[in-house]
Amino acid sequence: MPATDRRWRDLAGPVGRLEPGSRNAITDVPGVRVGHSQAASGQRTGVTVVDPPGLPARAAVAVINGVGELTAKLEIDERGVIETPVYLCGSHAVGTVFQAAVLASGRGPDNVVLPVVGECDDGDMADSRMVSIGDVDRALGALGAEVAEGSVGAGTGMVCFDFPGGIGTASRVVGDHHVGVLLLCNFGDREYLHVPGLELPPVSGRPAPHGSCIAVCATDAPLSAQQLRRLALRPLLGLARIGSYGAEGSGEIGVAFSTSTGQDLPNADLNGLFAAAYEAAHEAVYNCLVAARPARRLDGSMQEGFPVEAITPEGR
């Protein structure tokens, strides 16, 4: 699936101080791949997979607001690793995606695996119960370095600041290392959205119920599980930069993994990585907003699109 040709920095210029990787995507971290699939049922829902190389991988989880689900969190907290790719989906698809991930792992009944599955509620736009095991298999089959954004995969039916939401990604280079972030954006009150130089219209009709955001952060820097827990928090701080306040009913959950098995970096060297994750998440939300497309809600009403045509470099 090709990446979208509409991205924030092409329209409005850079976000933050650090340089992005060549794709400005989580797949700038070498070996990381992403795959999307839309639900074959025709519902506005789907599956996204973020696949690290060389599993198991060191990993950790951070939570700002826990009204949401990331399976295997307890094992990640206890052991500091993930054993499967990170799967993303709508809330009511978690069981199906979990089962599909177990099957995809190739493990037998005597070799237990707990897949990592994160969810956001796309019930305003779709019935995520209609996701199938085949949808998960197709997302795995689509794994690659190009990352489509907006209304794709797990993001197909998501809502962000009462505009169409979904998938956003960005990356940063810090010395010899890369930090990449992929977000499943389903959060935010319109009145809190911060877009410099852009006057945003108030919500027409009823606002969407509070959703959530799953932030997946990858790096090739050698970090311990404790350092990764700290890194996993920083994309969630980037959400605050654009207007999230962790509303009641909204879950902000971050998972970070390292593709390196080298000696842990000193804590004194972490600030650049923290800033990179913060900046990448900030830009990833903007990328999601400009890429996502409006669609019809389950109640028959139509979403309004983000006013991409009003974005100018001068607004930055």
Of the residues 91, 250, 258, 260, only one is catalytic, namely 250
Within 10 angstroms of residue 314's Cβ, the number of other Cβ atoms is 9
Across 248-271, average pLDDT? 96
Q: Please, which pLDDT band fits residue 314 given cuts at 50, 70 and 90?
A: low
How would you classify the pairing of strands 86-90 and 116-120? Answer: parallel
Residue-wise pLDDT for 24-50, tens only, equals 999 999 999 999 999 999 999 999 999
69 catalytic? Reply is: no
The pLDDT confidence band at residue 4, using thresholds 50, 70 and 90, is very low
For residue 204, indicate whether it is catalytic.
no
Residue 116 or residue 314, greater confidence: 116
Buried residues in 258-278 as b, exposed as e (16+ CB within 10 A): bbbeeebbeeeebebbbbbbb
Least confident range from 21-30, 111-120, 163-172, 197-206: namely: 197-206
What single letter denotes the amino acid at residue 53? P
- The catalytically annotated residue of 83, 149, 252, 279 is 252
212 is catalytic: yes
Any residues with CB less than 8 A from the CB of 111 and at least 6 apart, and which?
A: none
What is the identity of the amino acid at 47? Answer: V
User: Which residue is catalytic, options 37, 91, 171, 212?
Assistant: 212
Asked whether the predicted pLDDT for residue 131 surpasses 80, the reply is: yes
Give the E-state strand segments of the chain in sequence order. 33-38, 46-51, 57-66, 81-82, 86-90, 116-120, 159-160, 163-164, 166-174, 177-186, 212-219, 251-258
List the domains of the chain with CATH numbers: 8-304 (3.60.70.12)
